[in-house]
Amino acid sequence: MSEIHVDLSRDLCAARVSPLANHRCTMADVLRLMQVPNFDLEAAERVPATMRRLSPGDTLFHEGTHAETLYFVRGGTFKLTCTAEDGYEQVLGFADVRELLGQDALGVGEYPSTAVALDECSVYGVPMRDVLSLSQQLPAFNAVLHRAASLGLRRRAQLVDVLAAVSAEVRLARFLVQWSRRMGGMGLSTTRFHLRMCRRDIASYLGVAHATVSRSFGALADWGLLSVSNRDVEILGLAGLERLARSTRRNGEDAAEAPRLRGMTALGASVASPRLGPGAGKLHAA
Amino acid sequence: MSEIHVDLSRDLCAARVSPLANHRCTMADVLRLMQVPNFDLEAAERVPATMRRLSPGDTLFHEGTHAETLYFVRGGTFKLTCTAEDGYEQVLGFADVRELLGQDALGVGEYPSTAVALDECSVYGVPMRDVLSLSQQLPAFNAVLHRAASLGLRRRAQLVDVLAAVSAEVRLARFLVQWSRRMGGMGLSTTRFHLRMCRRDIASYLGVAHATVSRSFGALADWGLLSVSNRDVEILGLAGLERLARSTRRNGEDAAEAPRLRGMTALGASVASPRLGPGAGKLHAA
DNA sequence: CGGGACGTTGACTCAAATCAATAACCGTGG
DNA sequence: CCACGGTTATTGATTTGAGTCAACGTCCCG
């Protein structure tokens, strides 16, 4: 409700700054972005495409609207959601550089989800109705589409993987491991990063209440696996976090249970006094 | 553990009956199966493909093995799973006629999931390494692939939808509604059907304990929404079931119990007292 | 310096996991 | 035909993890 209001105002704001600013570019830019090794440069440059910038909170497309454009994320991070009719917003995932947005609309004609920019973003756009014919004309583009489809399917499997975990801590651990790998894949640090989404979004992605996300972060910090300050995360024990993430059904005890009731002396145990107010073992205290 | 043993023995058994029985056929058969309206028949008939039959329990491909073939389900139902290293098996979904199996392996070269036949099945197979070039040569095939990718993405979203539900009853309701629609899409009854999978598989798909699935079936039966005997389900109140499936976070009670049900009077609405004791509306009890 | 969104923490309650026993089902074979 | 083991399904008793509600602290932006 109030979120929708915010979205709209943000949209208007962005529209003022750059009113539907679709800069012209070509398919060659798109293929370069997608790191296609070699392709028919001349042909690609004859195919027009668009480029668009978005600010945090801007909506790239809304669930249910007619799908006119297939997008390629050039930079920034998007949040993909789908909204139940009672207003509950389920986060389906996050997309960053080189991911496709709107591919799941190819068959149906309207977007089944909403894409919202989480930070400064830019995308390339290709008209949806040209996609099929273009994929015939440009084999390189076709390959990109198929690879992206395969990757998209596995991205969704990741979400399933997270939601399938029993405990909230394990879900969060899996999410963080995924995020860490994603950061690594982009050449960034796998142990220190800034989460672009708010707790509520994480909670929705994990399928838990947002209060539980806070508690789980606290638990992971207590176990010495990470330190967290707001959206800045530093993973202290990546191996331990991965082990925890791997745990299923009640055998998570190997990785997690020991510290819980005991004073957790085994792990390094920098948790002198458990409740010292906000951030006993937190980052921002240092 | 024991399941693996069973799978292997079944595989061997099937291998005895029809040892790798890949019947020859052509791409034209595949395109006909996929209901492509018009295509280059001559060209399609020049492209070889294979057909294979499977019995219940047979494994079409194992997670992690080299992906040689893209499959098109010709008949029957498959279970898609992925197995954690500790042996826990997460059911990712079910596939029936006209769905693609192995498309998520296109980019990586090995299957990220396992496909097991739940009943008598048959599939067409197309060599994975030919898929890209074939999609260039046969626009109809290319269109099929893109449509399937889009549909596959939305199938996964369905699973997310189920796992995102708060209560076990709502999850089961969503699953049953999905299954009902799927049956309807195949021209079968939307209200009476036979589930091909065991409770354990349903539980894994729903992300709950298998005992909870039983209880949820019981609850739905108590509420007069369906009757169930083993794997045979009859939906008595499809509208009510859909309303229950739609409910989220805490307002599920509105949908499940008295208040909201008044909207759908025609159904009998025999939901007087929530606690009626076991087996109030069961089929086999009558 | 508010105001509003975001984040953390506590208390309470309840739905569901777990453990466990029983009962139905099914193919096999005496 | 029924007896038999194995798998699958239901149901009960008990415990606990996490949802909900609510209060408070924090950050940021106008």
Q: Which of A14-18, A32-36, A267-271 has the lowest mean pLDDT?
A: A267-271
Q: What pLDDT is recorded for position B88?
A: 83
Q: Distances in Å between the alpha carbon of B67 and those of B107, B108, B212?
A: 10, 8, 36
Q: Would you call B149 and A154 a contact, using CB atoms and an 8 Å cutoff?
A: no
pLDDT of residue B70: 97
Convert the pLDDT of each residue in B74-132 to its tens digit.
999 999 999 887 778 899 999 999 999 999 998 889 999 999 999 999 999 999 999 99
- Chain A residues contacting B, CB < 8 Å? 82, 84-86, 88, 90, 92, 103-108, 112-113, 131-132, 135-136, 139, 142-143, 145-147, 149-154, 156-157, 159-161, 163-164, 204, 207, 246-249, 251
pLDDT at B249: 61
| Residue nearest D6 (alpha carbon to C1') | B2
Q: What is residue B162's DSSP assignment?
A: H
Please judge whether B248 and A146 are an interchain contact, meaning their C-beta atoms are less than 8 angstroms apart. Answer: no
Which residues of chain A between 41 and 100 are close to nucleic strand C, CB under 7 A?
Answer: none
pLDDT confidence bin for B271, thresholds 50/70/90: very low
Spatial distance between the Cα atoms of B228 and B221, rounded to a whole number of angstroms: 7
pLDDT in tens, A181-198: 999 999 999 999 999 999
Residues 6+ apart with CB under 8 A from A69: A50, A61, A102, A125, A126, A127, A128
Mean pLDDT in residue range B180-189: 94
Give the integer Cα–Cα distance in Å for B260 and B228.
24
Residue B222 has pLDDT above 60, yes or no: yes
Q: Is the pLDDT of residue B39 over 70?
A: yes
Closest CA to B98 of B196, B188, B186, B193: B186
Contact state of A246 with B139 under an 8 Å Cβ cutoff: no
**Residue B27 in contact with residue B44, Cβ under 8 Å?**
yes
- Helix, strand and coil in chain A, % to nearest 5: 45, 20, 35
Question: Which tens digits make up the pLDDT trace of A156-168?
Answer: 888 888 998 889 9
What's residue B94's pLDDT?
Answer: 95
Q: Are B72 and B34 a contacting pair, CB within 8 Å?
A: yes
B59, B31 in Cβ contact below 8 A?
no
Out of B108, B160, B251, whose CB is closest to A150?
Answer: B108
Shortest Cα–Cα distance, A236 to chain B (Å): 24
Residue A277 predicted with pLDDT over 90:
no
Report which of A158, A172, A157, A163 is spatially closest to residue A242, judged by C-alpha positions. A172
Question: Which stretch of DSSP H or E encloses residue B59?
Answer: strand B59-61
Q: Which residues contact A277 (CB under 8 A, 6 or more apart)?
A: none
Please tell me the distance in Å from A151's CA to the nearest CA on chain B: 7
A283 CB-to-strand C distance under 7 Å:
no
- Read off the pLDDT of residues A68-79 as tens digits, 9 standing for 90 and up: 999 999 999 999
d(CA A102, CA A114): 9
The set of strand C positions with any atom below 7 Å of a protein CB reads 4-11, 15-20, 24-26
Contact residues on chain B for A84, CB-CB shorter than 8 A: 246, 248
User: What angle separates helix A199-206 from helix A168-185, to the nearest 10 degrees?
Assistant: 110
Nucleotide in closest CA–C1' contact with A230: C7
Q: In what order do the strands lie in the sheet with A121-127?
A: A22-26, A48-54, A121-127, A69-75, A100-101
Pick from B36, B37, B155: which is nearest to B91 by CA? Answer: B155
- Greater confidence (A251 vs B154) lies with B154
User: What is the b/e burial string over B267-276, where b = at least 16 CB atoms within 10 angstroms of the residue's CB?
Assistant: bebebeeeee
- Characterize the bridge pairing of strands B192-194 and B100-101: unpaired
Q: What pLDDT, on the 0 to 100 scale, is given for residue A87?
A: 76
Amino acid A20: pLDDT: 57
| B41-50, B200-209, B253-262: least confident range | B253-262
Name every chain B residue with its beta carbon within 8 A of the beta carbon of A249.
Answer: 88
Percent of chain A exceeding pLDDT 90 equals 69
* Residue B33 · residue B82 · CB < 8 Å: no
Task: Give the closest-approach CA distance of B151 to chain A in angstroms.
Answer: 7
How many CA atoms does the CB half-sphere of B54 hold within 13 Å? 27
Q: What is the pLDDT of residue B20?
A: 56
> What residues form DSSP beta bridges with A78?
A95, A117
Question: B146 and A106 in contact by Cβ < 8 A?
Answer: yes
Q: For all residues of chain A together, what is the average pLDDT?
A: 82
Q: Provide mean pLDDT across the span B55-65.
A: 93
For B103, which residue in chain A has the nearest alpha carbon? A150
Say what percent of chain B tops pLDDT 70.
80
Q: How far apart, in Å, are the Cα atoms of B117 and each of B10, B96, B208? A: 11, 10, 23
Q: Which of A90, A103, A147 sits opposite B164 (nearest CB)?
A: A90
Q: Give the residue carrying structure tokens 């995102």.
A: B164
The answer to whether A146 contacts B156, with C-beta atoms less than 8 Å apart, is no
DSSP string computed for A253-266 = GGTTHHHHHS---T
Q: Name the token pair of B90.
A: 């997460």
**Percentage helix, strand, coil for chain B under 3-state DSSP, each rounded to 5:** 45, 20, 35
Of A114-128, B100-114, B270-284, least confident by mean pLDDT is B270-284
Residues 6+ apart with CB under 8 A from A68: A127, A128, A129
| B216 confidence band (pLDDT: 50, 70, 90) | very high
Question: Does residue A228 have a pLDDT over 70?
Answer: yes
pLDDT band at residue B204, thresholds of 50, 70 and 90? very high
How far B10 CA sits from the closest chain A CA (Å)? 27
pLDDT tier, A267 (very low <50, low <70, confident <90, very high otherwise) = very low
* Exposure on the CB side of residue A122, measured as CA atoms within 13 A: 14
Q: Model's pTM, two decimal places?
A: 0.82
Cβ-based contacts (< 7 Å) between A 232-261 and strand C: 249-250
Cα gap A52→A64, rounded to integer Å: 21
Which residues of chain B have a Cβ shorter than 8 Å from any chain A Cβ? 82, 84-86, 88, 90, 92, 103-108, 112-113, 131-132, 135-136, 139, 142-143, 145-147, 149-154, 156-157, 159-161, 163-164, 204, 207, 246-249, 251
Distances (CA, A) of B285 to A253, B28, B250, B278, B281: 42, 50, 32, 10, 8
